[in-house]
Amino acid sequence: MTEKLLSMIAKQYALTELNIGNMAKLKANGMTFTIKAYKAKGLGHVSVMRAKGFFGLMKMDTLIVNPTDVDLPLYSYDRIYAMGNDTLIAELYDTLLGESNLSSLNEIKKSYTDLSERDPGEHWYDSIKLCESISKKGKKKQEARFDELATEHFCAYLSSPTQTVSNPKDKQKKACFYVEGLLENGGPSTDVFKKSLGEEKTAKLFREVLFGTC
């Protein structure tokens, strides 16, 4: 699914793959992570991470968009397949400098009430997580329906009315607040990487590769 989302970006913005060296393949907590990062001209920083582990019983796909060139919120897509279950998490974080009309994303959410909601729990970043975020859970047999939701939601995000960023430093500060918060406060994926890679390499992975905040 991340390939499809990436191709949707490529239709609007020229993608240049970045050299991320030994960060391209990592191992942590029994999982193998394959990572790529891109500069999307006119949009910002994009990264894709795919993970497999536990004899193929668990797979995870991640796509992150840190829009430094246009005033959209930061977008984080996660898809987790485990033991016949399908989980879709698409979160938007307020890195906006001005107003942005994201109403189309909420309209799409209303069209998928047949899919069960997933309780995301409480986190330190809840105050900057936007209501247009989605969190769903289901069975593998619902994969096609989950794919439709992910595609429509991401398409609406990319098509949302926006302005060109006139002050990239201020825009990046907002993204840094979220990324540094992840590194300081931890979280499921952050903690896994810290345990296996150490704090310094995890910080480098998050700042330079996944989010492109430095």
Per-residue buried b or exposed e for 67-85, using 16+ beta carbons within 10 Å of the residue's own CB: bbbbbbbbbbbbbbbeeee
* pLDDT one digit per residue (tens) for the chain, 214 residues: 999 999 999 999 999 999 999 999 999 888 999 999 999 999 999 999 999 987 777 899 999 999 999 999 999 999 999 988 999 999 999 999 998 899 999 999 999 999 999 999 999 999 999 999 999 999 989 999 999 999 999 999 999 999 999 999 999 999 999 999 999 998 778 888 999 999 999 999 999 999 999 7
| Alpha-carbon 171 to chain mean position | 17
Q: Which fold has domain 2-210?
A: oxygen-dependent coproporphyrinogen oxidase (3.40.1500)
Helix-strand-coil percent breakdown of the chain, rounded to 5?
A: 40, 30, 30
**DSSP string covering 106-124:** HHHHHTTTTSEE------G
* Amino acid found at 82: A
Q: Residue 35 and residue 149: Cα distance in Å, rounded?
A: 24
Q: Which two tokens stand for residue 12?
A: 């609007």
**DSSP secondary-structure letter at 50?**
E
